Amino acid sequence: MRGRILVVDDERAIGIAIQRLLGARGHEVDAVHSGKEALARLAEHAYHLVITDLSLQDVSGMDVLRWVREHAPETAVVMITAFGSEKIAVEAMKLGAADYIPKPFDNDELELVVERLLEGMEVRRCLRLLQEQVAGAYRFGSLIGKSPGMQRVFDVIRKVADTDLTVLIRGPSGTGKELVANALHYNGPRRTKPLVKVNCAAFSRELVESELFGHEKGAFTGAVTAREGKFEIADGGTLFLDEIGDMRLETQAKILRVLQERELERVGGNRTLKVDVRVLAATNQDLEAKVQAGSFREDLYYRLNVVSIVLPALRERTEDLPLLIEHALAAAAARLKREPKPLAADAYRALCAHEWKGNVRELEHALEQAVALASGPEIALGDLPASVRDLSSDGAADPSGSFREAKQRAIERFERLFIHEALVRHHGNISKAAEDMGMYRQHLQLKLAEYGIDAAAYRER
């Protein structure tokens, strides 16, 4: 990162030497020779870094430091201290100096300090940006829905987001349970702390417990080092237990204890650890039936079900379809770096008529495929997956035009789909996709050019 740096030293030679040195490294460096001048400059310009001598004539280095801490807290201050003044240096650090360099110093030392500080600033800036973007993306903005069912969901989220209540999020697959967990976390007071997600169905029982509660060294074969669990990692934040319906009874008992006592032990350990974690859980299973059958603990069920949010299936809220279609089309076009195209009327009708057993996720996949395949000015019915298209109006069976044309269209559509899927599987790697399809790489490249498919768009997914 190129830094804007102010150097303050009443020994002109030193000030100029530092200015030259850091200037040669590509930084923008101003040098002044008194504390007074420094304050005047600081009031007018924003600097990343101030490097100041501690003992100046009028206004001291400490005064410069105090001014910066108060008026420009983003600016880092480095003190140059005379030999033997460690005590004051320590005091400066306490007052918020980022570092100090004892005189005499060599160039490498100074450069190292400057680079380290600027790098830290860059990282913090990126993180802040990322945090803002993530928080922005997860506001209700990314949970879309105007149907009464979704409006009720939003109401509950609004009411409980800023509490520590445990929430059980239910609904069929692909209805947005994870988005609800995000919305609860990012709209609550824990938003700046971690949101940690665990898929309880993805591991064996032993692994789930070590994943959740951590383990001590030697707890089981393979536990060569101690490891903290997701509860510890989420401390201060939120833990999202996804697919909780698949959790074993033994693990359920341990979760219940954490919910009740807010404490846990690592696997193979006997230290009791306190944790401050909000728990959200999700399932698409019939937990009541599981309780009846004895495969889900009733006490845990009540404990989790303090507040429950039930997401309706997409079929039950068709008034949300237009919004979701528009959103998913724009998102797919952006992801695949394509011009957004309108939907042909028959394609739109087919989307509205489809059953959407896979809910919003299925809709997103269907539209992503359509955007990837569309070659005309509109997204045509034929660009949609066969499962969504109504067979009777399948473009291949289009009665207009000759048999030869219809066959050509069908082949083209098949090829596009085939290539699209191979590129998805191989993340845009053309050689691998070609090998997978039993094609020569050069041949695939010709096809990509012919169909205007950009393999690079499949890479960063």
Ligand X SMILES: Nc1ncnc2c1ncn2[C@@H]1O[C@H](COP(=O)(O)OP(=O)(O)OP(=O)(O)O)[C@@H](O)[C@H]1O
Closer CB to ligand X, 54 or 328, in the complex: 328
Cβ proximity to ligand X: between 80 and 280 the closer is: 280
- By a kind-dependent CB cut-off of 5 to 8 A, residue 360 interacts, out of ligand X, Mg ion, none, with ligand X
Q: Kindly state the smallest distance separating residue 140's Cβ from ligand X, in Å.
A: 9
Which two three-digit tokens encode residue 216? 């001590």
Q: Which one of Mg ion, ligand X, none interacts with residue 364, CB within 5 to 8 A by kind?
A: ligand X
Minimum CB–partner distance for residue 177 and Mg ion (Å): 5
Q: With CB cut-offs between 5 and 8 Å by kind, which of Mg ion, ligand X, none does residue 237 bind? A: none
Closest contact distance (angstroms) between CB of 359 and ligand X is: 7
- Helix extents (H) in 72-147: 86-94, 107-138
361 binds, among ligand X, Mg ion, none (CB under 5 to 8 A by kind): ligand X
Rounded least distance, CB 348 to Mg ion, Å: 28
Q: Six-digit token pair at 124?
A: 């913090």
DSSP string, 26-87: T-EEEEESSHHHHHHHHHHS--SEEEEES--SSS-HHHHHHHHHHH-TTSEEEEEE-TT-HH
* β-pairing verdict for 167-170 and 307-310: parallel
Residue 40's CB: how many other CB atoms inside 10 A?
A: 12
- 201 scored as a contact of Mg ion (CB under 5 A): no
**Comparing C-alpha atoms, which of 115, 121, 275 is closest to residue 194?**
275
The residue type at 296: F
175 binds, among ligand X, Mg ion, none (CB under 5 to 8 A by kind): ligand X
Cβ proximity to Mg ion, 21 vs 144, nearer residue: 144
| Least distance in angstroms from the C-beta of 145 to ligand X | 5
Interacting residue with Mg ion among 178, 346, 412, 435 (CB under 5 A): 178
Helix (H, G, I), strand (E, B) or coil at 299: helix
Cβ proximity to ligand X: between 25 and 152 the closer is: 152
Query: What is the Cα–Cα distance from 198 to 244, expressed in whole angstroms?
Result: 9
d(CA 383, CA 253): 50
Q: State the binding partner of 57 from Mg ion, ligand X, none, CB within 5 to 8 A by kind.
A: none
Residue 442 interacts with which of ligand X, Mg ion, none, CB < 5 to 8 Å by class? none
**Beta carbon of residue 242, minimum distance to Mg ion (angstroms, whole number):** 5
Chain residues binding ligand X by CB under 6 A are: 142-145, 171, 173-179, 284, 360-361, 364
DSSP element (H, E) containing 12:
helix 12-24
Q: Which does 412 bind (CB under 5 to 8 A by kind): Mg ion, ligand X, none?
A: none
Q: Residue 284: which of ligand X, Mg ion, none does it interact with, CB under 5 to 8 A by kind?
A: ligand X
Nearer to ligand X, 228 or 319 (CB): 319
Cα separation, 306 vs 299, in Å, equals 11
Distance CA 33, CA 10 (A): 4
CB of 243 to ligand X, least distance (A): 7
* Comparison of 217 and 357: residue with beta carbon closer to Mg ion: 357
In angstroms, give the least distance from the CB of 364 to ligand X. 5
CA dist., res. 275 & res. 236, Å (int) = 8
ω into 194 cis (within 30 of 0)? no
Identity of the residue, 67 or 458, whose beta carbon is nearer to ligand X in the bound complex: 458
312 binds, among ligand X, Mg ion, none (CB under 5 to 8 A by kind): none
Of residues 142 and 305, the one with the C-beta less far from ligand X: 142
Label residue 176 left, alpha or beta by phi (over 0 means left) and psi (-120 to 50 means alpha): left
Query: Would you call 338 helix, strand, or coil by DSSP?
Result: coil
CB of 420 to Mg ion, least distance (A): 25
Residue nearest to Mg ion (CB): 178
Read off the DSSP letter of residue 193.
S
CB of 361 to ligand X, least distance (A): 4
Contact 78, 99 (CB under 8 A): yes
Residue nearest to ligand X as judged by C-beta position: 176
With a CB cutoff of 8 Å and minimum separation 6, the contacts of 310 are 153, 170, 171
The backbone torsions φ and ψ at residue 335, rounded to the nearest 5 degrees and listed phi first, read -65, -40
Nearer to ligand X, 69 or 361 (CB): 361
Q: Which is nearer to ligand X, 64 or 179 (CB)?
A: 179
DSSP string, 375-429: -SSSB-GGGS-TTTS-GGG-GGG--SS-HHHHHHHHHHHHHHHHHHHHHHHTTT-
Footprint on this chain of Mg ion (rule: CB under 5 A): 177-178
